[in-house]
Amino acid sequence: MPYADIPGVRLWFTDTAGMDDDKRTPVVFLHAASGNTDCWVNQEPVFIAAGYRCVAYDRRNWGRSEVTETKAEPGSAADDLEAFADHLGLKRFHLVATALGGIVGLDYTVEYPERVISLSVSSSFTGVSDASYMEVQTRLRPPEISNLPIVLREVGPSYRVSSPEGVAKWLEIEEASRHEITPEQGQNARSPMTFARLEQMKTPVLMLTGGADLLSPPTMMKIVADHIPGSSFGVVPEAGHAAFWEQSEAWNKLVLDFIGEYEG
C-alpha cells in the first residue's frame, strides 16, 4: 500500500479509488488509539457496496506510518489530515471516526468545515475540556475502569462471549497499532475543545456509542451531542467502546443511513 509524504511524517494509507472515482464520494476513516487502518475491515466492503470511495490511514505515531522529522514539532492530527486530504486531492468528504479518532474528527471539522460533508463520531471522549463535562467524566469513568486490561475496557461483554475469534483479531490489531513515543512526540488539538466551539458547528454530525461502553457511555456522548446544533444521536445496544467492530452490521447501517442524507 502507498505512503503519503506530508510534513514530518509518511502516512501509510489505503484508498479504494478506481475507474469510477469521480462518481464516488470519499469517506475518510479515523481509527482509535487501540487501532490502525486494519480495524476498518468490516466497514470498507459495505461502504464500497453503498457507492463510496473508502480512504483510511495510520495516523502519526500509529501503525505503519513513519515519522520523518523526529526533532520537529509534531503539530496537530487535524493539520496532518488537512495535508493528507491535499495530497490525495480530496476536496470534500464524509469523515467517520471512532474513539481518539473522534477527537481528531471534531477538531478537524471545526477548523476545516468547508472540507467535511458530514462527521460521524463513535464512542469518543470527544476532547471537551469544560469543567462541567470533566466532572461528569470523572464520576462515570473512575480510575478503576481506566486500569482494567484494555480488552475489558474497550470490548463489550456480549462480544467477548459470542466472538472469541473476533476478540483475538481485535487484540492483534491493537497490539500492532501504537508506537513507543515520548510525551513531546504526542499531538494536541489545534485548539482546546469546548462546548462553545462545538456550538458554532454547522456541519451535520452523528454521535454514536455502545450501550455497554464503559469509557464513553451514552450519557457522556449525549451531553456532547446536545451542544452540537442539529446533531443526530444513536446507541448500538450491548456494544462496548469498539461498537464499530463488535456490531459492525448495525453500526454500518446507522452511519450509512446518516451520511446518505447528504450529498457531496
Strand partners, 209: 235
Q: What pLDDT does 1 receive?
A: 60
pLDDT confidence tier of residue 229, bands split at 50, 70 and 90: very high
| CA 244/CA 42 separation, integer angstroms | 8
Q: What's the mean pLDDT when you consider all of the chain? A: 94
Q: What pLDDT does 74 receive?
A: 81
Better-predicted residue by pLDDT, 71 or 173 = 173
Average pLDDT of the residues in 235-250: 98
Strand partners, 120: 96, 206
Task: Check: CB of residue 56 under 8 Å from CB of residue 28.
Answer: yes
- Residue 93 CA to chain centroid, in angstroms? 14
Strand partners, 12: 3
pLDDT confidence tier of residue 111, bands split at 50, 70 and 90: very high
Cα-based angle 257, 100, 168 (whole degrees, multiple of 5): 85
Percent of the chain at pLDDT exceeding 90: 86
Does 3.40.50.1820 match the CATH number of domain 3-259? yes
Q: What pLDDT does 19 receive?
A: 52
Is 264 a residue whose pLDDT tops 70?
A: no
Q: pLDDT of 37-46, one tens digit each?
A: 999 999 999 9
Average pLDDT of the residues in 193-200: 97
Better-predicted residue by pLDDT, 72 or 45 = 45
